């Protein structure tokens, strides 16, 4: 069965440190999407990035970067020079083809990141 | 642009009372719709999803039900709430398995 594992429950770093959030997934599908979401204290899930299973090119967006390695079934997220505003819970997710031609999303349990000033 | 509205933002209900949470999407047609629940400090659990009007798939048998009376309207209901129904409920929409976009959520406390 499809599964997403975020082994890090909580991480604390000091501002300006780099931090990597780990995500490991399991899927039987050959085509799938992976995602990262941020959940600030307000609770709303904010979409950060989508990655297609055929595209293993790493991506950088400002201080954020993502490393997708199909060989190890990992999709890790690095924040460079962390800031207090990065404090949130981060979720990794995987899309799974469900019945009726639709998709559903399997989420990891999340990693709570605390960035200390 | 697409937007998703979910209400109410917070709700305190007594055990045994009914529940109705509503979610509407604007700016898109035929979206896939989802209800997730997040217990305090936990991950997201998929409750229901829908590919079209009147089509509901349930992930976890429980005290809740969902309906989709219109293309862009998704409703989560319960006839009698239990203490264990407390949590943070999130509605989401997506198309073609691409990223899901979430509403602001409803914090439900059953007392």
Q: What is the pLDDT of residues A79-102, one digit of tens each?
A: 999 999 999 999 999 998 887 678
Window 4-23 of A, Cβ < 8 Å to B: none
Residue A2, pLDDT above cutoff 70: yes
Cβ burial, residue A11 (10 Å; 0-12/13-18/19+): middle
Predicted confidence at residue A58, as pLDDT, reads 86
Closest CA to B97 of A93, A6, A25: A93
Mean pLDDT of chain B: 93
Are residues B89 and B102 in contact, defined by beta-carbon separation less than 8 angstroms?
A: no
Predicted confidence at residue A1, as pLDDT, reads 75
- Tell me: the pLDDT tens digits for A50-76? 999 998 888 889 999 999 999 999 999
Alpha carbons B39 and A26: distance in angstroms, whole number: 24
Predicted confidence at residue B105, as pLDDT, reads 95
- Rg of the Cα atoms in chain A: 14
Please give the share of chain B, as a percent, with pLDDT higher than 70: 99
Predicted confidence at residue B43, as pLDDT, reads 87
Are residues B71 and B29 in contact, defined by beta-carbon separation less than 8 angstroms?
A: yes
Predicted confidence at residue A81, as pLDDT, reads 97
Please give the share of chain A, as a percent, with pLDDT higher than 70: 99
Window 51-90 of A, Cβ < 8 Å to B: none
Task: Tell how many helices (H) and how many strands (E) occur in chain B.
Answer: 0, 11
Peptide bond into A113 cis (omega under 30): no
Pick from B49, B103, B104: CB nearest A104: B49
Predicted confidence at residue A16, as pLDDT, reads 97
Peptide bond into B8 cis (omega under 30): yes
Predicted confidence at residue A113, as pLDDT, reads 98
More confident residue, A42 or B93: B93
Predicted confidence at residue A94, as pLDDT, reads 95
- Parallel, antiparallel or unpaired: strands B10-13 and B106-110: parallel
- Parallel, antiparallel or unpaired: strands A59-61 and A64-69: antiparallel
Residue B61, pLDDT above cutoff 70: no
Pick from A50, A97, A104: CB nearest B98: A50
- Tell me: the pLDDT tens digits for B34-50? 999 998 777 899 999 99
* Separation in Å, CA of A92 to nearest CA in chain B: 10
Quick one: which H or E segment has residue A100?
none
Predicted confidence at residue B42, as pLDDT, reads 77
Window 18-37 of B, Cβ < 8 Å to A: 32, 34, 36
* Separation in Å, CA of A83 to nearest CA in chain B: 22
Q: Do A104 and B99 touch (CB under 8 A)?
A: no
Alpha carbons A54 and A108: distance in angstroms, whole number: 21
Cβ burial, residue A101 (10 Å; 0-12/13-18/19+): exposed
Residue B96, pLDDT above cutoff 90: no
* Separation in Å, CA of B5 to nearest CA in chain A: 12
CA A79, A83, A87: angle at the middle one, nearest 5? 80
Window 46-65 of B, Cβ < 8 Å to A: 46, 49, 51, 55, 57, 59
Residue B72, pLDDT above cutoff 90: yes
């Amino acid at each position: 069965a499809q599964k997403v594992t975020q082994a890090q429950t909580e991480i604390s770093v000091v501002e300006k440190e780099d931090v990597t959030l780990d995500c490991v997934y399991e899927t039987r599908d050959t085509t799938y999407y992976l995602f990262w979401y941020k959940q600030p204290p307000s609770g709303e899930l904010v979409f950060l990035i989508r990655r297609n299973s055929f595209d293993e090119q790493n991506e950088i967006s400002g201080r954020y970067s993502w490393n997708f390695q199909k060989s190890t079934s990992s999709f890790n997220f690095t924040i460079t020079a962390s800031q207090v505003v990065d404090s949130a819970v981060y979720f990794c997710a995987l899309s799974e083809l469900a019945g009726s031609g639709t998709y559903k999303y399997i989420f990891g349990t999340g990693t709570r990141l605390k960035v200390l000033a | 642009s697409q937007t998703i509205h979910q209400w109410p933002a917070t709700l305190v209900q007594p055990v045994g009372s009914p529940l109705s949470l509503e979610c509407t999407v604007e700016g898109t047609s035929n979206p896939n719709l989802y209800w997730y629940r997040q217990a305090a400090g936990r991950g997201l659990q998929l409750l229901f999803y829908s590919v079209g009007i009147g089509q509901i798939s349930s992930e976890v048998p429980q005290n809740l039900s969902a309906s989709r009376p219109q293309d862009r309207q998704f409703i989560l209901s319960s006839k009698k709430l239990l203490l264990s129904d407390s949590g943070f409920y999130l509605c989401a929409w997506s198309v073609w398995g691409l990223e899901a976009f979430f509403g602001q959520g409803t914090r439900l406390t059953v007392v």
